[in-house]
Amino acid sequence: MPTVCVPVLADNGLQSPLSAHFGAAPYFMLVDLDNQEHSSVVNRNDHQVHGVGTPVDQLSQLDIDILIVGGIGIRAVDRFATAGIKVYRTDLPSAGDAVAALAAGKLDLIDPSEACAGHH
């Protein structure tokens, strides 16, 4: 049973709004793709410096298989790929919408050109 992680702005179950950027999300919604059971995890590093990668370390310990993001940096994409975690991109409004789109085969793996280059 694959576990999906969606960075979100609030802990409102599957209605939680998707965060525009992976590393700045206050929560990560974890969803079992087979049975839709879900739980949230607080992002212990939501104020980290871009490129440090500590949210990647936190999530790598949670046995996730798939990450669905609104935005993410290239270093994080590379680190997830090395860990065998697939990263998909979406602009859907909620965790539930994103997971449903993934299950329906409507999301594509993130292309490195879609990764954030940084913030100025």
Stronger pLDDT, 11 or 116, i.e. the higher one: 11
Residues 30, 40 contacting (CB under 8 angstroms)? yes
Q: Residue 120: pLDDT band by 50, 70, 90 thresholds?
A: very low
The answer as to whether 98 is a domain residue is yes
User: What domain range includes position 70?
Assistant: 3-114
pLDDT at 52 over 90: no
Confirm whether 120 is domain-assigned.
no
- Residue 95 placed within a domain: yes
Q: Count of residues for the chain?
A: 120
Count of structural domains, the chain: 1
Q: What is the pLDDT of residue 53?
A: 47
Mean pLDDT estimate for the chain:
86
Q: Which pLDDT belongs to residue 12? A: 97
pLDDT tens profile 61-117: 888 999 999 988 888 888 898 989 999 999 999 999 999 999 999 999 998 776 665
Q: Which tokens go with 107? A: 């999301």
Tell me, yes or no, whether 110 lies in a domain.
Answer: yes
pLDDT for residue 119 is more than 50: no
Could you give the residue ranges of the DSSP H alpha helices within the chain? 54-60, 74-82, 95-103
Residue 84: give its domain's CATH number.
3.30.420.130
- This prediction has a pTM of 0.87
